[in-house]
Amino acid sequence: MKLKKQVIQLFKDRVPMTSLAKWVGASRSSLYYRNKSGKRGRKPTTVTEKADGSVVSNQHVINTLVNEVYGAHEFNRYGYILSTCELRSMGFKINPKKVYRLMKESGLLLSKIKSGPSQRQWVQWRKIEGAMPLDYICMDIKHVYIHDEKRFAYLLAIIDVATRYVLSWSLRYTMKHSHVIMCLHEVVKNYPSKEIMLRTDNGSQFIANGLKEYLEDKNLTHEFTHVATPEENSYVESLFSNVEKEVIKPHQFESLYDAKDVFDRYFKWYNTKRRHHGIGRVSPLEYWQTRWPCHPVRPPIAMQNFSEQDFLAKNTTSNEVEIFCQKPEGLRSWNEKGCKLNLPEQVDNKNVLN
């Protein structure tokens, strides 16, 4: 078409336009077309009419939305359709398209809710090799039957691949993605690492947009196992196999609180005492301390039994003036605020994160 227009420009002063169009094989309308810059169509109006015949500016409409619709109640989160209904009830003659345009220009539109399947990163290697502490963590959910209440509870467990250490767990009657975030946040808070790869299946809690946004905020990479391939998440499946054999089958739980108490004792024993074939027939805590003695991410400090007299004796002066010292509560990692990391003098550079 560009070449045809060049030919027409050469002969338009000597030959009628109708003949030129026949020569080049183009319609006359295409020869008269001139491309215009800017947005196509009719220019948008700058004013809005009201039912009483008066005319107000579009800025007045926006101010009415902000002050009298959204600002009238703290819970108001209307979209453009309900906002149109409110404006019409106030006497504005306006349609939803115009309300949408004005709200978009003023930044008042709500964020769109993503629906449908999202892009996922799938597992590439079934067996994880060469992992160091907190490089790879696996997470899954298992059903636990509460006998006296005749209902199932959900057990969520997060395990470190390199050490087989159970980093966090949760037992609840309902397990939503918000509960998964709470459990995962304990791992992020107590074991900070620059790069963590999280592996899960395709459960509804794990594919939720809320969890995706949390992982992006914490810079965690999330990969999913393929459908109907539990062997790709074999590390946490092995944990649940031991849980089934050593806890669930031998016990009949009276309540959820009873089950939590049993699992609390079990996971403490699992991390500190239970021997594993996959890590040289030692406990996860011993394997972590001996295999990576200089790794920045350290296992939690073993719990100690403090008596009130011992605590006051260690934290008071001769004049019985109490020294500020926070008493340890639960499992904490070395990197809490105010703590120092004492590494051995001989540091193996291979085991230190860059």
Task: Flag whether pLDDT at 331 surpasses 80.
Answer: no
What was the pLDDT predicted at 288?
95
What was the pLDDT predicted at 259?
97
The residue extents of the domains of the chain are 2-32, 47-106, 121-286
Residues 173, 112: contact at Cβ < 8 Å? no
More confident: 340 or 124: 124
What was the pLDDT predicted at 309?
45
Cβ count near 212 (within 10 Å): 16
What was the pLDDT predicted at 324?
38
Cβ count near 135 (within 10 Å): 18
Distance of CA 85 to the CA centre of its chain: 35
pLDDT average, residue stretch 196-221: 94
Three-state SS annotation for the chain: CHHHHHHHHHHCCCCCHHHHHHHHCCCHHHHHCCCCCCCCCCCCCCEEEECCCCEEEHHHHHHHHHHHHHCCCCCCCCCHHHHHHHHHHCCEECCHHHHHHHHHHHCCCCCCCCCCCCCCEECCCCCCCCCCCCCEEEEEEEEEEECCCCEEEEEEEEEECCCCCEEEEEEECCCCHHHHHHHHHHHHHHCCCCCEEEEECCCCCCCCHHHHHHHHHCCEEEEECCCCCHHHHHHHHHHHHHHHHHHHCCCCCCCHHHHHHHHHHHHHHHHHCCCEHHHCCECHHHHHHHHCCCCCCCCCCCCCCCCHHHHHHHCECCCCCECCCCCCCCCCCCCCCCCCCCCCCCCCHHHCCC
What was the pLDDT predicted at 115?
67
Extract the tokens encoding 94.
């306006």
Task: Give the pTM.
Answer: 0.61
Q: Provide the mean pLDDT of the chain.
A: 83
Give the pLDDT band (50/70/90) at residue 202: very high
Architecture of domain 121-286: 2-Layer Sandwich (3.30)
